[in-house]
Structure 1
Amino acid sequence: MSPKGLAILGSGIFAKEAHLPAIAALPSGAGELKAIYSRSEKSASDLAQAAQEILNLAQRPAIYYDGDAATDLDALLARTDIHAVIVALPITVQPSIVRKCLAAGKHVLSEKPVAKDVATGLELIRDVDTAYKPKGLVWRVAENWELEPGYHAAAQAIRDGKIGKVNSFNARVVGYVAKDSKYYKTPWRTVPDYQGGFLLDGGVHTIAALRVLLPSPMASLSGFASQNQKHLPPHDTIHAVVRTADGVHGLVELTWGAPVPSRSEQAHGGISVTGQDGWLNIETVALDGGRKRVVRVTVATVTRNEKGEDVGEEKHVVEEESRGVNLELASFLNAIDGQDDGFGTPIGALSDVAFIQAGLNSNGQPVDLLKLVQG
């Protein structure tokens, strides 16, 4: 991996708590954080100070902010020593910033979701494919659940036939969003100007995990959406029945509208996949007092005697430390070097947005998910 000069655009919670540690985890010499951009000088300065501490830098990265031509985003993008940018800005701002960065000749890793809706995402993908991809510029969407080793371990168990032919699946997310939550207090999340609110921002993670797990893509959805908590407009809940291209069906429950913490804590959330010869369950577990998170996969397989009769089951548990953000950054930098592993594709991220959009608009009527992403 050749050395890359990096910049982070955005100074929010995830930039500090996820992207900075991911840069720190890169192999020595793979990437150097040279600059940070934010709308305000203070927020850019705060993240630069955190970067100096987390990355153990001799001096903090240069800061760029709006209001002065010498320090704005254009000035950052004019630097020839910055080869790639991580875009972690509000959802509706990202498409225009992705275009701007690519036009400046920078490779781009932009945070999920790819856009606020399918139409906006399709337009962006077509623009990039026409104007920038032929120039060798790389654009990837940062969907960390797509890279989580735990989901890949579960997918491998399915491919290896540990549970037999898949016949159904279930995904459940039950979230409680307090009004004093650090994520809720982010202004662009408090009054969202995009469909679905937390459903879009957070729900695409679960759909990306199902993309990794299921033997064929989800093809049809019929569901209902609602807003159950007044502080979570425009919607906070989706319940959907889903069918994949090869006929497997399942249930997907996504809600950030739990009325009290216990509803979330006792929901037994996660993903399960059932086959003819067993099933597996996937859950995220906090260990070491919350300092470490693992994706735990429990595989239960039927056992049979010499006559082929079912006599019980055997279980196997795999735990993989959560490190999807680290892996997505490394994958992005490898793609710049011409080593494309196929992850982080904008069209894959668009299918995640399509699922949420379909769930919000279905109102009980079937929606063709594959047709939706074709425009």
Structure 2
Amino acid sequence: MSKINVAIVGTGIFASKAHLPVLQKSEYFTPYSCYNRTKAKAEEFAKKDANIEKVYDTLEAVFEDPNVDLVDALLPVQYNVDALKLAVTHKKNICLEKPIAANIDQAKELVQLARDHPEISVTILEHWSYYKAVTELSNAIAQIGTVYSFTYHATGPFNYDNAYLNTSWRQKPEHVGGFLSDGGVHQLAFLTGVLGNIKTVSAHTRQVREQSGTDDIAYALLETEAGQIGTFTYGSAFGNTKKSCFFEILGDNGSVYHDFSPGSDRSITLRLGGATASTKNEEHVIPIKNEYVSVDREFEVLGQALSSNNWSLIKTTPEVCFHHLSIVDAIVRSSEKNGALVEVTKP
């Protein structure tokens, strides 16, 4: 099987630290070429891999190259639609970094473009959708009777050393909610991967740090399409505190609890019982070993899908990732209306 030639567009921190190492060791992909708006940065990036044969002068040249099989686009998300338009014109498979777009209008346009051109593969890179815990939690909640509520909590201290803070598109975000969508779509990919889509939102947001550019913490009440109610708490902009990440799901015959805080031994605690007075109470611990916390798994799945032409393997379609952004959009809109109940927009 010949490997898939990848053109890497945007050669910044994440391309260097995450994408390139995964592509280098992949059985499916070869880093073939690259492009950056500042060509010198692309040339420096190209030196990191002997297989990178080309550095382009323009973005259009990337898509015009007949030897490129896949464009891996790591762009400020307000440019995702423009990149997809070039992919459509030149019939190139493309993967785009999350969130899907800067706002709902752009996201709708991107979804429609992908729908209109099924001959190319359009993937949004959202690796939390491939967490092992998504499958394990789904299996666990099937055992706790009717699910009624949930608590999703992810908070932590502000990291002044975060290299990504210095990128101008994050300091002056065009994407709705700034860090709330940049990082929040990870959390919402995980939450909805387990419980399904969100129907309505009532939320409040605040800005803690000037460096965030806009509001950076969110406290929300969510209702799923299936009728469960729960809370979503997100923000890493606080002062000295322990980073705390957990997901609890409650049913009439038990509960499921997953602690995914950094440094914790990732596991799921499944507690059964309570459906009736005579139901036996049980407790089981399900370990999550070698969780897919990096982008390795999503590129493995993408490689499998492209090599077999079985695009159904890809979980992070434009429609799916539209929903993640639309929840953030609903959170922001609700907060602007002092916590009013708002519906999550559909594509």
Q: How does 1:141-290 map to 2 (within 5 A)?
A: 141-159=124-142, 161=143, 163-214=144-195, 216-258=196-238, 260=239, 262-263=240-241, 265=242, 267-284=243-260, 286=262
Q: Which runs of 5+ in 2 are unaligned?
A: none
Structure 1 SS opposite 2:133: helix
Contact residue 7 and residue 34 of structure 1 kept, 8 A: yes
Q: Distance in 2 between matches of 1:14 and 1:165?
A: 41
**Length-normalised TM-score, structure 1:** 0.84
Contact residue 152 and residue 231 of structure 2 kept, 8 A: yes
In the comparison of the two structures, how many residue pairs are matched?
340
User: CA offset at residue 285 of structure 1?
Assistant: 5.2
User: CA offset at residue 245 of structure 1?
Assistant: 1.7
User: CA offset at residue 272 of structure 1?
Assistant: 1.6
User: CA offset at residue 60 of structure 1?
Assistant: 4.5
Aligned residue identity for 1:122: K
Aligned residue identity for 1:355: I
Match of residue 3 from structure 2: 3
Is the counterpart of residue 373 in structure 1 residue 340 in structure 2?
A: no
Contact residue 200 and residue 224 of structure 2 kept, 8 A: yes
Contact residue 170 and residue 213 of structure 2 kept, 8 A: no
Per-residue CA distance 1:138-176 (angstroms, 9 max, x = gap): 1011110001122222222223x1x33211111112143
User: CA offset at residue 11 of structure 1?
Assistant: 1.2
Contact residue 9 and residue 36 of structure 1 kept, 8 A: yes
Q: How does 1:82-101 map to 2 (within 5 A)?
A: 82-101=68-87
Q: Distance in 2 between matches of 1:154 and 1:5?
A: 36
Per-residue CA distance 1:89-123 (angstroms, 9 max, x = gap): 11112221122123222100111111111111101
Contact residue 199 and residue 256 of structure 1 kept, 8 A: no
Is the counterpart of residue 353 in structure 1 residue 325 in structure 2?
A: yes
- Percent sequence identity is 23
**Length-normalised TM-score, structure 2:** 0.90
Per-residue CA distance 1:9-29 (angstroms, 9 max, x = gap): 1112221222123223422xx
Q: Distance in 2 between matches of 1:173 and 1:286?
A: 11
Contact residue 220 and residue 366 of structure 1 kept, 8 A: yes
User: CA offset at residue 312 of structure 1?
Assistant: 4.4
Contact residue 9 and residue 71 of structure 2 kept, 8 A: yes
Q: Distance in 2 between matches of 1:234 and 1:220?
A: 23
> Structure 1 pair 247/192, CA: closer, same or farther in 2 (3 Å)?
same
Structure 2 SS opposite 1:256: strand
Match of residue 289 from structure 2: 320
User: CA offset at residue 308 of structure 1?
Assistant: 6.2
Q: Distance in 2 between matches of 1:152 and 1:295?
A: 17
> Structure 1 pair 175/45, CA: closer, same or farther in 2 (3 Å)?
farther
Match of residue 332 from structure 1: 302
> Structure 1 pair 269/285, CA: closer, same or farther in 2 (3 Å)?
closer
Per-residue CA distance 1:305-336 (angstroms, 9 max, x = gap): xx963564312132132325222222223333
Q: Distance in 2 between matches of 1:108 and 1:295?
A: 35
Per-residue CA distance 1:211-243 (angstroms, 9 max, x = gap): 1111x4211111112212222221111111011
Structure 2 SS opposite 1:184: helix
Q: Distance in 2 between matches of 1:143 and 1:25?
A: 20
